[in-house]
Structure 1
Amino acid sequence: MSKRVLITAGGSGIGRAMAEAFHAAGARVCVVDVDARALASCPAAWQREPLDVTDEPAIAALFARLRSSWGGLDVLCANAGIAGPTALIEDIEVEAWRRCLAINLEGAFLFAKHATPPMKAQRSGAMILTSSTAGLFGYPNRAPYSASKWAVNGLMKTLAMELGPHGIRANSICPGAVEGPRMEAVLAKEAAIKGTTRDAIYAGYAGGTSMRSFVKAEDIAAMALFLASDAARLVSGQIIAVDGHTENPDPKV
């Protein structure tokens, strides 16, 4: 795969798994992350950019550098996101709400905005937005996160319609509960809210899927690799869950 790939939040988690998968497939990889330590741990073969995904001037400067060094962009993985507060709606501070939407939604918008001109110029490209199964269901105690991920899917649908005539595809991946530190924090907070244990919440999430399992970051990366490939040349405007089939988004404990 001789593609030029830009991945936001590529220093760890799902983004890191995506970067590793694309690099292994032969792509040129640029990872963006606000976490300098995570970037420093990435392979030297990757282009590494410390950047806040809500900083539009910095994003514009990054794309100017990529135009100079790469001459274009084939794949955007708009993956950056935060969990936001895990709390009852009446306990959520408006600033926490705004920050969650700024990173999860505005970040995706800004990178799609700046990826569009080079992709239009070459009349090809793939935009892959990381959404969530929280963008398919309402999730108790996760109002900002769920709202942001529904909006990400709406943004993706619009991108697919608007950019399709220019040869640019757009799709969303909706991970389910992904093994890792972020989900562990959510499990702990939900356990505190419900007065139960982390293990009970974990079992509730896993039991709410038909495959009775959490997913791994590598599962999401494999889907991104497919959506960026020529095998998916007519796959656009799709919301694709990688979640073991979520039957019930409210874990029963």
Structure 2
Amino acid sequence: MSQRVLITAGASGVGRAMAEAFAEAGAQVWVADVDEAALAACPEAWQRSRVNVADEGSVASLFAEIAAEWGGLDVLCANAGIAGPTALVEDVSLDDWRACLSVNLEGAFLCSKYAAPMMKAQKSGAILITSSTAGQYGYPNRAPYAAAKWGMVGLGKTLAMELGPHGIRSNVICPGSVEGPRIEGVMEREATAKGMTRDQVYAGYASGTSMGSFVEGRDIAAMAVFLASDGARLVSGQVIAVDGHTVNPDPKV
């Protein structure tokens, strides 16, 4: 039986790359996203649902659909997230702080909460949480994002301990700077905040890794497919960076 894989924020970016990689590996793919246009552009072979992971009712309805259609779930990729504000901590509003934690941390929690009973019933499953290297280091001007991503690491490790006795694994993937529209927006805001150019910020991010490079969505997707495979059957509770090896999370250019 092919794997049944749910990917949140799966209609674009890293999530889309994950969906394509799992589909190529022969899995059944279900993508959940808030972007209806991006969902409509996904392959017809994929199951698609408009879901707000920060809303429990929306998440509960999604998992009810999955139970009715698939009868279970083998892999949860809790991938949804937003960048949050780029500002010094004293300039971050409480509303922006809460919005960032709600989508990133609470979204991963809610999806895990509803996936766990389904996986326990079948005594197997894999939960993959997309955190960030911001969940491993301090991240100036991004306090809400870093706090959420650190929280996701704690969530993933705790799930591994709770669910391991039921045959369920949980791991956390920490992407570095991923090429694409989201990081472009972050770099533009950071450039403005620091009085730098976008290219200077880009060079600084890349030089902060030993391999001198950003990563691509396919790099994250390849790790997800591996962690969900039998080849990683005893890999659980791990936090794995796919980032070109970050050596300085806040390089000065």
TM-score over 0.5 for the alignment? Answer: yes
CA distance in 2, matches of 1:57, 1:89: 31
Query: Which residue number corresponds to residue 213 of structure 1?
Result: 213
- Post-superposition offset of 1:182: 0.4
Q: Does 1:129 align with 2:129?
A: yes
Partner of 1:59: 59
Aligned partner letter, 1:221: A
Deviations 1:24-71 (A, max 9, x none): 111000000001011011001000000100121221122112111111
8 Å Cα contact 1:31/1:47 also seen in 2: yes
CA distance in 1, matches of 2:242, 2:56: 30
Alignment check: 8 A CA contact 1:220 1:242 kept: yes
**Separation in 2 of the partners of 1:207 and 1:170?**
31
CA distance in 1, matches of 2:114, 2:11: 21
Q: How do 1:109-128 and structure 2 match up within 5 A?
A: 109-128=109-128
Residue matched to 1:81: 81
| 2:156 corresponding residue in structure 1 | 156
Q: Secondary structure of 1:73's match?
A: coil
Maintained 8 Å contact 1:201/1:251:
no
Which residue number corresponds to residue 189 of structure 1?
A: 189
Equivalent residue, structure 2, for 1:174: 174
CA distance in 2, matches of 1:136, 1:58: 30
For residues 108 and 50 of structure 2, the distance between their equivalents in structure 1, rounded to whole angstroms, comes to: 16
Do the aligned residues in 2 keep the contact of 1:176 with 1:244 (CA within 8 Å)?
yes
Q: Once the two structures are aligned, what percentage of the paired residues are identical?
A: 71
Tell me the distance in 2 between the aligned counterparts of 1:96 and 1:251: 26
Tell me the SS of whatever aligns to 1:174: strand
| 1:15 is the counterpart of 2:20 | no
Opposite residue 42 of structure 1, the aligned amino acid is C
Q: Which amino acid aligns with 1:157?
A: K
Q: TM-score, normalised by structure 2?
A: 0.99
Q: Separation in 2 of the partners of 1:195 and 1:56?
A: 40
- In the aligned structure 2, how far is the partner of 1:20 from the partner of 1:87? 34
The CA deviation at 1:251 is 2.4
The CA distance in 2 between the partners of 1:174 and 1:182, in whole Å, is: 16
Match of 2:144 in 1: 144
Shift of residue 196, structure 1, vs aligned partner: 1.0
8 Å CA contact retained: 1:74, 1:126 = yes
Equivalent residue, structure 2, for 1:42: 42
Aligned residues of 1:4 and 1:73 also touching (Cα < 8 A): yes
What corresponds to 2:246 in structure 1?
246
Q: In the comparison of the two structures, how many residue pairs are matched? A: 253
In 2, Cα distance between equivalents of 1:90 and 1:165 = 43
- Counterpart of 1:11, as a letter, is A
Q: Secondary structure at the match of 1:44?
A: coil
Give the unaligned 5+ runs of structure 1.
Answer: none
Q: TM-score, normalised by structure 1?
A: 0.99
Show the 5 A alignment for 1:192-203: 192-203=192-203
Residue deviations 1:84-123 (CA, integer Å, cap 9, x gap):
0011111111100000000000000000000011100000
SS in 1 for 2:190: helix
**CA distance in 2 between partners of 1:104 and 1:118 (Å):** 22
CA distance, structure 2, for counterparts of residue 23 and residue 64 of structure 1: 22
Question: 1:84 touches 1:144 (CA, 8 Å); kept in 2?
Answer: yes
Give the residue type in structure 1 aligned to 2:118. P
Distance 1:167 1:105 in 2: 24
Aligned to 1:223: 223
Q: After TM superposition, what 4+ stretches of structure 1 lie above 4 angstroms from structure 2?
A: none
Q: CA deviation at 1:149?
A: 0.2
Tell me the distance in 2 between the aligned counterparts of 1:73 and 1:37.
25
